[in-house]
């Protein structure tokens, strides 16, 4: 479930990541936190690079995590979790930029 060349699975193994994903998809908030926690720092940096503001990046990261939690049941695993989160974060940043205009 991870991109080649990307960081190792956040949980240590693909089987453990699948287990956490299934638990999170069934409403386990702790499993969701363990699943996305390893990506939060890099997602925040990504948002900061797009928005140029620490506070705006924080807001975009929170929006990203909320949207990921709400749509996790629809995550099919066709891409890595990391790239799926980056897509959500990028869209959150683009919406923030559009609102600022």
Q: Which DSSP string do the residues of 46-92 spell out, in sequence order?
A: HHHHHHS-HHHHHHHHHHHHHHHHHHGGG--SSS-HHHHHHHHHHHH
Q: Are 82 and 3 in contact (CB under 8 A)?
A: yes
The tens digit of pLDDT for each residue in 48-73 reads 999 999 999 999 999 999 999 999 99
Among the residue ranges 9-13, 77-81, 92-96, the one predicted with the least confidence is: 9-13
Mean local confidence (pLDDT), 94-101: 93
């Amino acid at each position: 479930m991870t991109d080649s060349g990307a960081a190792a699975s956040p949980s240590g193994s693909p089987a453990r990541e699948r287990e956490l994903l299934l638990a999170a998809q069934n409403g386990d908030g702790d499993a969701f936190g363990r699943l996305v926690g390893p990506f939060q720092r890099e997602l925040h940096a990504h948002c900061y690079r797009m928005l140029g503001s620490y506070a705006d990046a924080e807001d975009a990261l929170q929006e990203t995590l909320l949207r990921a939690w709400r749509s996790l049941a629809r995550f099919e695993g066709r891409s890595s979790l990391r790239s799926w989160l980056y897509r959500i974060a990028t869209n959150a940043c683009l919406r923030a930029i559009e609102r600022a205009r």
